[in-house]
Chain A
Amino acid sequence: MFAYAVRRVLATIPVMAIVALFVFSLLYIAPGDPAAVIAGDQATPQDVERIRASLGLDRPFLVRFGEWVWNILNGNMGVSIFTNLPVTTMIQQRIEPTLSLMVLTLCLAVSIAVPMGVIAAWKQGSWIDRAVMGFAVLGFSVPVFVVGYVLAYIFALELDWLPVQGYTAFREGFFPWLENLILPAIALGGVYIALIARITRATMLEVLQQDYIRTARAKGAGQRSILFLHALKNAAVPIVTVIGIGVALLIGGAVVTESVFAIPGLGRLTVDAILRRDYPVIQGVVLLFSFVYVLVNLLIDLLYTLFDPRIRY
């Protein structure tokens, strides 16, 4: 398995190279010009040209790409065109809020969705099952920002229990951290809960039909033991797969959630950079997201062996 993990880590190198080329090319052909944005509304075309030249944006594609790749290989992600800050610094400033939001959402979603799916499968056809499925449809259908606004209205404006926006670093205390993140995590987690609950229910229904479940019942095993020890463990592989795939959902959702709740995370950094055409920042963040996604999938692959000993790498 160790050899497999090493092989998979090494395989990320060509993947990242393709992502890098793709991102760089896409930005090259996309409309928009950071020099024009920097120059401001009052700038003349000469000002824009001069700024473009000073930023090196007038150089050929291959020269710029080569220089960027070389810098990346040397651990240098470049400097933001706008802020003049290193991209690594900007990512460092923003990584904690996003990571916090994603981890909390993940924990919240898994701890709610898996029991929901299990119970729905157990009570198939009952009102509980219908309620869970209804919630799942709602979770899929209502956009994150609508959920966010509704939550902020109820819990911040009406009840004054939680703040509308912002982020408090974890080092300043668990509760202040949680206070700022709980609403965004619930808003972002809706889709995720819906997805995991549905998959859990479907997989559990399939597993609960298996002979060994009937055997367990015949042996006198309790319902809780059957559901959570016998059935859930065997249903875990597809559930874990969906959780892994869902990380991409979280990354996408974080962009919206961070805007709605004014959380200074990587999602907002990405949006701001795209709107301003801050190429080094866009490239850096997309590379980072791609790398995280590849790693999460590797982790999921490795987790399979824990849930299903028949899987060997």
Chain B
Amino acid sequence: MKRRSLLWGSGLALAAPRLALGQGNARTLRFVPQGNLANIDPIWTTTTLARNHALMVYDTLFGLGKDFQPKPQMAAGHEVSADGLTTTITLRADLRFHDGQPVLARDCIASIARWSKRDVLGQRLAALLEEMKPLADDRFQIVLKRPWHGLIWALGKPSANLCAIMPERVAQTDPFTQITEYVGSGPFRFRRSQWVPGSIAAYERFPGYVPRDEPPDFLAGGKVVHFDRVEWHVMPDPATAAAALQNNEIDWWETPLADLLPVLRRNRDIAVEVVNTAGALGMIRFNHLHPPFDRPEIRRAILPAIEQRSFMQAALGEDPALWQVPAGTFTPGTPLATDAGLEVLSSPRDPEAAKRALAAAGYKNERVVILSPTDFPTINALSEVAADTLRRIGMNVDLQAMDWGTLVQRRTKRESPAEGGWNIFCTTWEGLDVSVPGSHQPIRGNGAQGWTGWATSPRREALRDAWFDAPDLAAERKIAADIQMLVWDEAPFIPLGLLRPPQAYRRSLTNIVTGGPPLFWNVRRG
């Protein structure tokens, strides 16, 4: 064989699999998630990725519709007794776990019990619970000590921790220990043997799953799956993910970097759209234990200098479709979002007023340590704008860059900033989490028991408790407005705007369910 023939032959041999690759497997959806699915127990961890995984593998008794109201999902329906203390839930007849066993009332009770030890709303249930008991294989009762209007919403809550229904034997695992058996109840079966953490997680359509005979409605309705297989490909490098999407090696990328959006938009085969309309609320979180932010006057003084638009532009760019300002305490667009007192952030900005307020509050040029995660571009951008804003009003800012792993450890430190503690960090909260007071950690005022920052506010706690007892949506809205007014007064955190980062996907994908996290039912190719 001539040398040139050999070279040509090799080239053709290399090109042949390219042709096959370019066509892809039409029955497989290739998805690049926001990060590495490192753990898969949605009760053990509150990570968004574990929650997204759980939405595929586990079903829930109830699911939120687009109107953010709970609808029956595994439940055929429920009844609440006249005194509001007893809720009886009846299961659908055709529910099966991935091992083929039927879903029974005792599985649901064990799953709720495990969830209630970890989740913030679950803990509310645990505090109110008198007993849970099966009435039949497909019916069980939850008996409370006091009525709780929000029980059904809590069982269908879309944010971590999801009340995922597992077999009783799995759900009996200690909630602080990871489960070791991954038998789900949802439309996809997790292929644990093919899971390579940091690289790939594979799911196969569960043929035994019977969707509701209804059109899809966000996390409720019929979860009809049109792909035999869904693969999550972890790609730590955004440029690689962008190139892979353009090259038809993947179908869907959850978190394209803002800098790469123009390139993706230029490609006619790629759609760049907001899928998660609930978005994420950006915020500045203060440490309430140490000066200068141990005093509400100082925290409040910053408000006139906060230009939410600048934060959003730094995080996601100039396109206003990708963010929303003004944003208050609760996720804009959700039922409890309110304009109460919102002018503190929406009126013309006045850094000079902030300077005067700082001086009046007795700011003594204390060092302000801001923690900034360089491996989270969005949060890093928020942190840099926060630092710049505070410098402009004369604060002595020390912006400390670090990786996320260090930041989450550092922010648990209660020591003073001089001893390795901190004053401020910026973060984002899933819009679904901060849409109601029950799961809204930043509004909490439970001090040392609460979220990092350790804010103490009996008034906010009382309002939150009142929300649990609210009899209807109107009462909930009134309480939400009161909470927001209190947030402006006590400033446990400052909202920076609602981020709606777009997702990028091949135009061959249609019928993607929008509203929140990436969902893999209803979506189809072509």
Set of chain A residues within 8 Å of B412, measured between Cβ atoms? 33, 36, 45, 48
Q: Is the CB of B237 within 8 A of A93?
A: no
Residue interface bits B406-438, CB-to-A below 8 A is 1, else 0: 101111101000000000000101000100000
Cβ-closest chain A residue relative to B239: A149
Q: Which residue of A lies closest to B46 (CB)?
A: A40
In the complex, A148 Cα to B176 Cα: how many Å? 42
Which residues of chain B are within 8 angstroms of A200 by Cβ–Cβ distance?
A: none
With A178-B14, A272-B198 known as contacts, the answer to whether A160 contacts B247 (CB < 8 A) is yes
Which A9-43 residues have C-beta < 8 A from chain B? 31-33, 36-43
> Which residues on the B side are within 8 Å of A161 (C-beta)?
14-15, 18
Q: A31-B409, A41-B429, A90-B197 are in contact. Are A262 and B45 (CB under 8 A)?
A: no
- Which of the residues A50, A94, A175 comes within 8 Å of B196, measured between beta carbons? A94
Q: How far is the CB of B199 from chain A (nearest CB, A)?
A: 3
Q: Least Cβ distance of A305 to chain B in Å?
A: 36
Binary contact track B16-29/A, C-beta < 8 Å → 1, others 0: 11100110000000
Q: Chain A: which residue is nearest B402 at the CB level?
A: A31
In the complex, the chain B residue whose C-beta lies closest to that of A156 is: B247
Q: Which residues of A contact B243 (CB under 8 A)?
A: 152-153, 156-157, 164-165
Chain A residues near B239 (CB-CB < 8 A): 149, 260
Q: Is B39's beta carbon under 8 Å from chain A? A: yes
| A275 engages B404 (CB within 8 Å) | yes
In the complex, the answer to whether B39 meets A84 with C-beta atoms within 8 Å is: yes
A83 touches B199 (CB 8 A): no
- Does B100 sit within 8 A of A, measured CB to CB? no
- Report chain A residues within 8 Å CB of B17: 173, 175-176, 179
Q: Does B405 lie within 8 Å of A276, measured CB to CB?
A: yes
Which stretch (A119-127, A263-271, A290-298) binds chain B? A263-271
B125 at the interface (CB under 8 A from A): no
Contacting pair B196 A93 (CB below 8 A): yes
Instruction: Tell me the bound Cα distance from A39 to B118 in angstroms.
Output: 11
Residue of A nearest to B452 (CB): A45
Contact B160 A260 (CB under 8 A): no
Q: In the bound complex, do residue B22 and residue A45 qualify as a contact, i.e. CB atoms below 8 Å apart?
A: no
B240 touches A164 (CB 8 A): yes
Residues of A within 8 A of B207 (CB): none
Q: Is A65 an interface residue (CB 8 A)?
A: no
Residues of B within 8 A of A173 (CB): 17
Per a CB cutoff under 8 Å, which of B15, B249, B405 touches A37?
B405
Does A209 interact with chain B (Cβ within 8 Å)?
no
Contacts known (A85-B197, A276-B405); A46 close to B38, Cβ less than 8 A: no
B197 near A82: Cβ-Cβ < 8 Å: yes
A261 within 8 A of B: yes
Per the 8 Å Cβ criterion, residues 143-160 of A in contact with B are: 149, 152-153, 156-157, 160
Chain A residues, CB < 8 A from B452 = 44-45
**Chain B positions 168-199 with a Cβ under 8 Å from a chain A Cβ:** 176-178, 180, 196-199
Q: Is the CB of B13 within 8 A of A175?
A: yes
List which B1-58 residues lie within 8 A (CB) of chain A: 13-18, 21-22, 36, 38-39, 44-48
Instruction: Check B449 for interface membership: any CB of A closer than 8 A.
Output: yes
- Closest-CB distance, B194 to chain A (whole angstroms): 10
Can you name the residue of chain A whose Cβ is closest to the Cβ of B38?
A82
* Contact, CB under 8 Å: B18 / A264: no
Interface flags for A112-123 (1: CB within 8 Å of B; 0: not) read 000000000000
- Docked CA distance A48–B451 (Å): 11
Q: Is B448 located at the chain interface by the 8 A CB criterion? A: yes
Q: Is A259 an interface residue (CB 8 A)?
A: yes
Q: Does A83 contact B249, Cβ atoms closer than 8 Å?
A: no
Q: Kindly list chain B residues whose C-beta atoms are within 8 Å of the C-beta of A246.
A: none
- Is A166 in contact with chain B by the CB < 8 A criterion? yes
Q: Tell me the dominant secondary structure on chain A's binding face.
A: helix
0/1 interface trace, chain B 222-262, chain A, CB 8 Å (1 if under): 00000000000111110111011011010000000000000
Query: B247 contacts A164, CB within 8 Å?
Result: yes
B375 at the interface (CB under 8 A from A): yes
For A259, what are the chain B residues with a Cβ–Cβ distance below 8 Å? Answer: 236-237, 240
Q: Specify which of A36, A149, A262 lies most central, judged by the most chain B CB atoms within 10 Å of its CB.
A: A262
Q: Is A280's CB within 8 Å of the partner chain B?
A: no
Contact status A268-B14, CB under 8 Å: no
B441 at the interface (CB under 8 A from A): yes
Please tell me if the beta carbons of A165 and B249 are within 8 angstroms of each other in the complex. Answer: yes
In the assembled complex, A238 has its CB within 8 A of some CB on chain B: no
B513 at the interface (CB under 8 A from A): no
CB within 8 A of A264: which of B198, B244, B402, B450?
Answer: B198
Q: CA separation between A301 and B526, bound complex, in Å?
A: 60
Q: Which residues of A contact B137 (CB under 8 A)?
A: none
Contact with B along A78-112 (1 / 0, CB 8 A): 00101111000010011000000000000000000
**B403 contacts the other chain (CB 8 A):** yes
Listed in ascending order, the chain B residues whose CB lies under 8 Å from chain A are 13-18, 21-22, 36, 38-39, 44-48, 118, 120, 160, 176-178, 180, 196-200, 233-237, 239-241, 243-244, 246-247, 249, 375, 402-406, 408-412, 414, 427, 429, 433, 441, 448-452
Q: 18 extra interchain contacts, Cβ-Cβ under 8 A, other than A38-B45, A82-B39, A278-B38?
A: A32-B406, A36-B412, A37-B404, A40-B45, A42-B120, A42-B160, A42-B433, A44-B450, A46-B449, A84-B39, A162-B14, A163-B21, A164-B247, A165-B240, A166-B244, A175-B13, A175-B14, A179-B18
What are some 29 contacts across the A-B interface (CB < 8 A)?
A: A32-B409, A33-B408, A37-B404, A39-B45, A40-B45, A41-B47, A41-B429, A42-B46, A42-B441, A43-B451, A44-B449, A44-B451, A84-B180, A162-B14, A163-B18, A164-B244, A166-B233, A173-B17, A175-B14, A182-B14, A259-B240, A260-B237, A261-B240, A262-B235, A262-B244, A272-B197, A275-B375, A276-B38, A278-B38
| A-B pairs with lowest CB-CB distance, top 5 | A264-B199, A40-B46, A33-B409, A82-B38, A36-B408
Residues of chain A at the chain B interface (Cβ within 8 Å): 31-33, 36-48, 50-51, 54, 80, 82-85, 90, 93-94, 149, 152-153, 156-157, 160-166, 173, 175-176, 178-179, 182, 259-262, 264, 268-269, 271-272, 274-278
